[in-house]
Amino acid sequence: MPKRSCKFTEDLQNEFAFLKKVCTGTGDQDDRVKCSHCNFEFSVAHGVRSDIKDHFQSSKHKKSLACAASSSKLTSFFKTASSNHKNLDLAAKECEAIVLNVIAPLAQEELKEDLAKSNFVSVSVQVKLLDFKSVAGETSEILTNHLCSVLFRNDLNNKVVGFCGDNCNTNFGGVKRAGQKNVFHRLKNSLGREINGIGCGAHIVHNCVQTTVDSLSIDIEAYW
C-alpha cells in the first residue's frame, strides 16, 4: 500500500507560526508550506516534523536568519538608555570587561539574595546558574571539593536537599549507589547528612514520556 502523505494541520500551524500553507488556485495544499523567514516553499508530506527539521538545517534558511539578525531594523531596536548612544562603540575587550565585572557579579548577587530568602517547597522548580567551571581531572574527589566550595561560599550548605547529575559511576557509583568513592557519597559526608540522589533530569523526563507513550492505544511514532 502507498504511504499516506502527512498534512500540515492547525495544531502544527499554531506551533510553527512562521510556516504558512501554500494557497493555490484550487485551494490549499495540505502538504506544502512556505517559510516566512526565507520565503522558501517545501513539502511536509514525508514526515511533518522531520521535513521541518531538514528545512531548519538547510543553508538557505540559515543564511536568511543570519541576514535578518544583522539587519538595520533589528540592530536599531537595541539602544542604550543614554542620549549619546551614537557615540558608544565598545571593542571586544571592553564588552568582555563589562560582562565579567558588572553584569555577571550583579546576576550572582541577585541570585544569592533569592536563595537566601527561599526555602524548599514542592510546588515548582526553578533552574538558575550560580557557578559554571571546568575543573581539571574531574575525579569524584575534585568534583566534590568544587561543589562544596561553591555551596559553603554562598551559604547554601544547609539548604541542599538533593544532588542531580548524570548516572555515571563518578557521580553515583553505579545503579545500586553502594560505592563510597563517588560524588554523591562524598557530598553527603561533607554535608554531614543525607540528601536525595536524583540522577539525570533529562533521563527522568525521557522515561516519563516514554512510559506515557507506551500506555497509549495508538502508535504515536507513526505520526512523526
What mean pLDDT, rounded, does the chain reach? 81
Q: Which residues of 184-206 are buried (b: 16+ CB within 10 A; e: fewer)?
A: bbbbbebbeeeeebebbeeeeee
Count of positions (residues) in the chain: 224
Calpha distance 182→185 (Å, rounded):
6
Residue entry with cell 507513550: 213
Domain ranges in the chain are: 10-70, 138-216
Q: At what angle do helices 183-191 and 140-153 cross, to 10 degrees?
A: 40
The model carries a pTM of 0.50
Residue 145: pLDDT over 90: yes
At 77, the pLDDT band (50, 70, 90 cuts) reads low
Residues above pLDDT 70, as percent of the chain: 82
Lowest mean pLDDT among 23-37, 93-107, 152-166, 189-203: 23-37
pLDDT score recorded for residue 17: 81
Other beta carbons less than 10 A from residue 171's beta carbon: 20
Residue 4: pLDDT over 70: no
Q: Which residues of 110-147 are buried (b: 16+ CB within 10 A; e: fewer)?
A: eeeeeeeeeeeeeeeeeeeeeeeeeeeeeebeebbebb
